[in-house]
Structure 1
Amino acid sequence: MNDKQFISKYKRLEEMFLTTLLGDVPTILLGTKLRNIMYKSIFGKLGNSVYIHNGVEFISTRYIEIGNGVYLFKDVRIHAGSHQNNRVCLADGVILEKSVEIGALDNTQIHIGERTFIGSSVCIGGPGNITIGKDCLIASHAGIVANNHIFDDPTQKISSQGITRKGITIEDDCWLGHAVTVLDGVTIGKGSVIGAGAVVTKDIPSYSVAVGIPAKVIRQRTSKDFVKSRN
C-alpha cells in the first residue's frame, strides 16, 4: 500500500467513525453544534453556522465543500463518489430540505449556488457535471440527472450500450415547479420558470415560462419596462 492509498483509507475510516458517532445525535442534544465542530476535519470545506440535522448521510466527505449558513435537513444524502476530481459544492446559504439526494459518479462536479433552495425528495445526480445558479427555487420531487442511456442498438442490452454525460446548467434565479425533470445536455436560462411536472429536454432561453412534456416555452417574463432597462 502506497502513501496515497494509506491516507485515503485513513480519511475514509475517520469519516465513518465521526459520521457514525455523531450523525444521529438529536438536535435537542446539541447534535448540530457537535457536527459543526467535529466534521471540519473530514470535509473538503465546512463553513460556519452550518445546520446539519440528525440522519444526514455523507459519503466521501473529502470531496464535499459546504459554505457558510447552509441548512441540511433530515435524511439528506450526499454521495461524492471516489474519483479524485469529484466535487460536490454547496455555496453559502443553500438549503436542502428533507430526503434530498445528491450523487456524483466518476469525474463529476456538482455545484449549487448561493441561497438556492432545494425542496424535499429532489434527486440531483451525475456523472455529467451539474451547475445550479444563485437564488434558485427547486420544488419537491424534481429530478436533475446529467446522464442518459444510449439505446440505439436493439440487438444489445440497454445497460451495455453506455450513457451520455453532457451536463446540466440551471442559471441564476430560476424556479422549477413540483416534479420537474431536467434531462442531460440541457441549459435553463437565467430567470426562467418551469411548470410543475414538465420534462425539460431542450435548452430554455432566459426569462422564459415553459410547461409540458416535453417542456415548451409559452411566454417570456420580459415586460416593456424590463426590456428598456436592459438596452
Structure 2
Amino acid sequence: MNYNPSSLIWNRLLQSVLTNLLGNIPTNFIGGNLRNLLYSPIFAHMGKSVNIQPGVTFVNTAVIQLGSGVLILQGVRINASGHPNNKFILKDRVSLENGVDIRAMSDTSIYIDESTYIGPYVCLAGPGNIKIGKKCLIAAHTGIFANNHVFNDPTQNISEQGVTRQGIIIGDDCWLGHAVTVLDGVTIGEGSVIGAGAVVTKDIPPYSVAVGVPARVVKSRKEQQLVKPSF
C-alpha cells in the first residue's frame, strides 16, 4: 500500500477520534457491532466477526490487518507506529488475552497465523520481524524480542550503539510455557515445547522439548527418548 502524508494524517486523526469515542463502550451486541462497523475503514483489513473488547489501544491502524474471528481482550496495546512500511497481521481466529503488548515499529513485520493463542501480558517487540505459526500456545508473561542491544564498545553508551534485528520465527503448533523469553535471531521448529521460564538464545529443532537458562533440548517429541544435553 502506498501512503502520502495527507492520507496518513487523515487516517491517524480518524483513528484517534474513533478509538477514543468507541474504545470504552461495553462489549455487548450494540457496542461490539458498532466498533466493528466504524473501525473497519481505518484498518488495512478487517474480517468478519472480529471481537475487540473495550480498553484496547491501536496505533497506526492503516498497517494493521485483522482476520475473521479475531479476539482482542481488554488492555491489549498494538503499536505499529514509526514507519509506513510496517506490517501487523493477525490471521483468522487469533486470540490476544488481556494486557498483551505488541510493538511493530521501524519497518517491522509481525505475523501471527491462524488459531494461535497469545496469553495474558505477553510482550512482542521488533524492530526485527516476528513470525508465529498456526495453532501455537504462548503462555502468560512470555517475551518475544526481535532486537538486541549492541554493546561491543565499552567507551560508548550502550543506548547509542544500536540494535540487531535478525528476526524470530516460531513454527506451527508450538507451546511456550509461562514466562519464556525468546531472543533475537532464534527459530523455534514446528511442534516444539519450551518449558516455563526458559530463555531461548539458539535455534530449537522441530518437535523438541527444551528447558532451562539458556534453553537446552532434553527430549524429542517424535523419538520419545532423552537427548543428552551438550554443555
* TM-score (normalizing by structure 1): 0.94
Residue 29 of structure 1, CA deviation: 6.5
- What is the match of residue 92 of structure 2? 92
Q: Which residue of 1 aligns with 2:15?
A: 15
1:176 aligned partner: 176
**Aligned equivalents of 1:105 and 1:24: distance in 2?**
25
Distance 1:29 1:173, change over 3 A: closer
Kindly indicate whether residue 120 of structure 2 is the aligned counterpart of residue 120 of structure 1: yes
Deviations 1:203-224 (A, max 9, x none): 0000000000000000100148
Q: State the identity as a percent.
A: 58
Q: Which amino acid aligns with 2:18?
A: L
What is the SS of the residue equivalent to 1:27?
A: coil
RMSD, aligned α-carbons: 1.1
Matched, 1:208 2:211: no
Structure 2 partner of 1:61? 61
Q: Unmatched 5+ residue regions in structure 1?
A: 225-231
Equivalent residue letter for 1:131: K
Question: C-alpha offsets along residues 35-80 of structure 1, whole Å, 9 cap, x if unaligned?
Answer: 1111011000011000000001100000100000000000000011
* Partner AA of 1:79 in structure 2: N
Moved more, 32-41 or 200-209: 32-41
C-alpha separation between the residues in 1 aligned to 2:5 and 2:165?
28
In the aligned structure 2, how far is the partner of 1:54 from the partner of 1:48? Answer: 18
The answer to whether residue 114 in structure 2 is matched with residue 140 in structure 1 is no
Q: Distance in 1 between matches of 2:31 and 2:151?
A: 47
Q: What does the per-residue CA deviation read over 1:3-38, in whole Å, with 9 as the maximum and x for residues that have no partner?
A: 921111111101111111101101137221111111
Letter in 2 for 1:212: G
Counterpart Cα distance in 2 of 1:199 and 1:207? 18
Partner residue, 1:221: 221
SS of the residue corresponding to residue 131 of structure 1 reads strand
Q: What one-letter code is carried by the residue in structure 2 that aligns with 1:31?
A: G
> Quick one: which amino acid aligns to residue 166 of structure 1?
Q
Q: For residue 82 of structure 1, report the CA deviation from its aligned partner.
A: 3.2
Separation in 1, partners of 2:45, 2:82: 17
Q: CA separation in 2, counterparts of 1:88 and 1:25?
A: 25
Distance 1:187 1:123 in 2: 17
| Equivalent-residue separation in structure 2 for 1:112 and 1:59 (angstroms) | 18
Q: Which runs of 5+ in 2 are unaligned?
A: 225-231
Q: Specify the code of the residue in structure 2 equivalent to 1:130.
A: I
* 2:111 equivalent in structure 1: 111
Question: Deviations along 1:102-150, whole A, 9 cap, x unmatched?
Answer: 1011110000000000000000010000000000000000000100001
Letter in 1 for 2:75: D
Taking the aligned partners of 2:28 and 2:93, their CA distance within structure 1 comes to 22
Give 4+ residue runs of structure 1 displaced > 6 Å after superposition.
Answer: none
CA distance in 2, matches of 1:200, 1:31: 41
d(CA) in 2 for partners of 1:4 and 1:119? 36
Alignment map for 1:70-89 (pairs within 5 Å) = 70-89=70-89
Distance 2:167 2:127 in 1: 8
Residue 5 of structure 1 corresponds to which residue in structure 2?
A: 5
Distance 1:70 1:146 in 2: 24
The DSSP-based 3-state class of the residue aligned with 1:30 is helix
